[in-house]
């Protein structure tokens, strides 16, 4: 079991779009195992490749006791809206009300290259969107607006290492 350390805000890998996975090989299976081991830690809902220093389009999730992964995700079928407190392992100790779609469909592949479709609503939809954002080099604080964004940026400057 390998629980990888989480990369923190300021690490360039978090702001760089991840590369598409082209080889569904033993190396990818090892990365997926590490992601799933890492997401099993208490209080974790998702971990993306860049968060463990791997710039590949793969993430794991742990929602409702269901642990899984998705390679090369593409989101579609967006519907509804939800606003709820959101946090991120790469921005420890911070959380802000964040708007997301209430439901999404995520299409991609498993670690062996077989097609996977995940239809997410509520918290699972939020996790799918959050982790896919990581693969695009975006953090949830990038989606904040107005006073909430200003508050988040002030707090980040105050508490996060530079």
Q: Which entry of 30, 85, 131, 155 is annotated as an active-site residue?
A: 131
130 known ligand binder: yes
Q: Is 67 in contact with 36 (CB distance < 8 Å)? A: yes
Rounded (5°) CA angle 55-40-134: 30
79 sits in the region (left: phi over 0; alpha: psi -120 to 50; else beta) called beta
Determine whether 131 is an active site residue: yes
Query: Would strands 103-109 and 66-79 be described as parallel, antiparallel, or unpaired?
Result: antiparallel
In 3D space, the residue among 71, 14, 13, 2 whose CA is nearest the CA of residue 41 turns out to be 2
88 known ligand binder: yes
Q: Is 57 in contact with 21 (CB distance < 8 Å)? A: yes
Q: Which element (helix H / strand E) includes 91?
A: none
The alpha carbons of the chain give a radius of gyration, in whole angstroms, of 15
112 known ligand binder: no
Binding residues: 88, 130, 134
Q: Annotated binding site for Fe cation, which residues?
A: 88, 130, 134
Q: Which residues are catalytic?
A: 131
């Amino acid at each position: 079991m390998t629980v990888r350390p989480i990369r923190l805000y300021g690490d360039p890998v978090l702001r760089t779009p991840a590369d598409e996975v082209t080889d569904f090989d033993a190396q990818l299976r090892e990365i997926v195992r590490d992601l799933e081991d890492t997401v099993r830690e208490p209080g974790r809902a998702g971990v993306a490749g860049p968060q463990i220093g791997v710039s590949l389009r793969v993430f794991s999730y742990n929602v409702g006791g269901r642990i899984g992964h998705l390679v090369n995700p593409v989101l579609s079928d967006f519907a509804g809206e939800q606003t709820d407190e959101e946090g991120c392992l790469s921005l420890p100790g911070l959380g802000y009300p964040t708007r997301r779609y209430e439901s999404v469909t995520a299409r991609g592949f498993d670690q062996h290259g077989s097609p996977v479709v995940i239809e997410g609503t509520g918290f699972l939809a939020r996790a799918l969107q959050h982790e896919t954002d990581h693969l695009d080099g975006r953090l949830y604080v990038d989606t904040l607006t107005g006073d909430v964004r200003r508050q988040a940026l002030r707090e980040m400057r105050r508490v996060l290492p530079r």
